[in-house]
Amino acid sequence: MAYNPPRQHVVTGGGGIVGLALALQLRQSVPALVDVTVCDPGLARARKAGRVSTLAAGPRRFLERLGVWHELGDAASPVTAMHISDSQLEDALRPIYLKLSGEISPGEAFAHVVSEEVLIGKLRDACARAGVSLRATAVADDRLEGEDRAISLADGSNLRADLLVGADGRPSPIRTRARIGVSRHDYGQSGLVATLQLERPHGGIAVQHFLPGGPFALLPMAGNRASIVWSQPHAAAQRLASLDDGALASEIEICFGHHLGRITLLDRPQLFPLALGIARSFIAPRLALAGDAAHGIHPLAGQGLNLGLADAEALAAGVGHAAGLGLPIGNEETLEDYQRTRRAPAVAMAAAMEGFNALFSNDIMPLRRVRDLGMGVVDRAPGLKARIIRQAAGLTAPRDAPPRQA
C-alpha cells in the first residue's frame, strides 16, 4: 500500500515580499503535503507607494520560477550599469572611479529596480490562486506545545503549526518572544528616500556617490523617474526632510550634479534610521526567521531584499524536501541546514556593508586616495569586474542545493 505522508502546516508571520514568496514557493512545490497561512494586518490595506528595492539577477530568477516576474511590466526597470564615484559636495568635478556594466546572460540585466507595492500585490494574488490562506491579522502570541507551535492571533482565533516563520520585519515580535538576541550597531545615520522625475534620460544607469556624510544612491525607474536613498547623520537628514520640494530638489542637484537636467520631486521624502541587526540565531524549536527579522543591513548596496528572498528560497527548499520524505517539516535537521546555509552569507554581507560605510563615509585624505586608487585598479581589471558583477547579481553560489538527509 502506498505511503501517504501527513499534511503539515506552516504559518508565516509577516506578509511582505519575503513571507509571501516563501508561502507561494511552498504551495507550488508541495501543495498536497503542506498548508500555508500568512498572517499580517497589512494584508487588508494597500502598501504605501514609492518604495523600491534593487533586485539582483539570482533572486529575480526565483521570482520568475514563482510565475510573478512576467506580471511586473514597467514596475521592474533594468539596471544597465552602475557608476561609483567618491567626492565632496564642493568638488567641481565628480570623477567616476568604477563602472560596472554588462548582462548576466543575453538580454538579462544584472539587476532591476522593482516597485515594492506592485510586487507585493502580484505575490498576494499568486498566493491566493495557489491556495495560501491570507489572514489580515497579526500573530499575537506563540509557544511550543509538544511538537507544534500553538499560535494565538490578534483577531482571537488560534492555530497550530508544524513550523512558524518569523518574517515580520526588523522589530520582529516573533523573534523577541523566542528570546533570540540580536547583534546591533547604530550607524548614527538616517536614509532619506524620495522619488524624482528627471529632465534627461538616465539610460538605466544606477549611481552611487560616496560623500563624507554617507552614500547617495540613485536608482533608475521607468518613465525617466528615479528613486534616491541618501544616507546622512540624523540631524542633517532631518534638515533635508524638512525642506520644501524646491529647496530639497536644489540640495539633491548640488549633491548629484546637473547632468540629468532639472529634478522634480514626485513625493515627500521618507526617513528611515539606519542600523545593523543580525539575529544571533535564525532558528528555534519549530521556528525559523527570514528577511529583516533575521538580518537588517545598511542599504548602500541594496542587498536587503536579495538576502531575504534567498532565505525564502532556501527555507522552502528544505521544508519541501522534508515534507516529501514524510518528515516533520520543522525538524531540527532541516532548520539547522537552513541556518547553516543562510546565516553565514548574511553575516558576511553585513560585515562588508559595515566596512564600506566606514571606509567611504569620511573625508580623511589618505583613505580617499587609497580607496579611489583601489576602485581605479578594479575598473581596469575586466575579469575582477565580471566576478564582482556576478557576486552582486547573487550568482556566485549554487542555488537550490538539497538539504542533507535527516
Q: Which domains does the chain have, with CATH numbers?
A: 8-50+117-183+275-362 (3.50.50.60)
* 297 — pLDDT class (breaks 50, 70, 90): confident
More confident residue, 56 or 386: 56
| Span 245-293, pLDDT tens digits | 999 999 998 887 788 899 999 999 999 999 889 999 999 999 999 999 9
| Span 346-379, pLDDT tens digits | 998 887 777 666 655 555 555 555 455 454 444 4
Over range 71-99, report the average pLDDT: 74
Q: What is the pLDDT of residue 312?
A: 97
Q: What is the pLDDT of residue 107?
A: 78
pTM over 0.85: yes
Q: What is the pLDDT of residue 321?
A: 95
More confident residue, 138 or 381: 138
Cα torsion angle, 225, 231, 234, 235, sign: negative
Residue 105: Cβ-neighbour burial (10 angstroms; 0-12, 13-18, 19+): exposed
Over range 141-163, report the average pLDDT: 96
Distance CA 43, CA 325 (A): 33
Contacting residues for 133 by C-beta, under 8 A, at least 6 apart: 35, 36, 37, 38
Q: 169: number of CA atoms within 13 Å, CB side?
A: 10
State yes or no: pLDDT of 405 exceeds 60: no
The closest of 162, 155, 165 to 135, measured between CA atoms, is: 155
Task: Say if residues 379 and 385 touch (Cβ distance below 8 Å).
Answer: yes
State yes or no: pLDDT of 406 exceeds 50: no
| Span 19-69, pLDDT tens digits | 999 999 999 999 999 999 999 999 988 666 678 999 988 899 999 999 999
Over range 149-153, report the average pLDDT: 97
Grid cell of 178 as nine digits:
523566542
What is the 3-state secondary structure of the chain?
CCCCCCCEEEEEECCCHHHHHHHHHHHHHCCCCEEEEEECHHHHCCCCCCCEEEEEHHHHHHHHHHCCHHHCHHHEEEECEEEEEECCCCCCCCCEEEEEECEEECCEECEEEEEHHHHHHHHHHHHHHHCCEEECCCEEEEEEECCEEEEEECCCCEEEECEEEECCCCCCHHHHHCCCCEEEEEEEEEEEEEEEEECCCCCCEEEEEEECCEEEEEEEEHHHEEEEEEEEEHHHHHHHHHCCHHHHHHHHHHHHCCCCCCEEECCCCEEEEEEEEEECCCEECCEEECHHHCEECCHHHCCHHHHHHHHHHHHHHHHHHHHHCCCCCCCHHHHHHHHHHHHHHHHHHHHHHHHHHHHHCCCCHHHHHHHHHHHHHHHCCHHHHHHHHHHHCCCCCCCCCCCCCC
| Span 389-400, pLDDT tens digits | 555 555 654 343
Task: Say if residues 23 and 319 touch (Cβ distance below 8 Å).
Answer: no
Pairing of strands 225-233, 295-296: unpaired
Mean pLDDT, all residues of the chain: 85
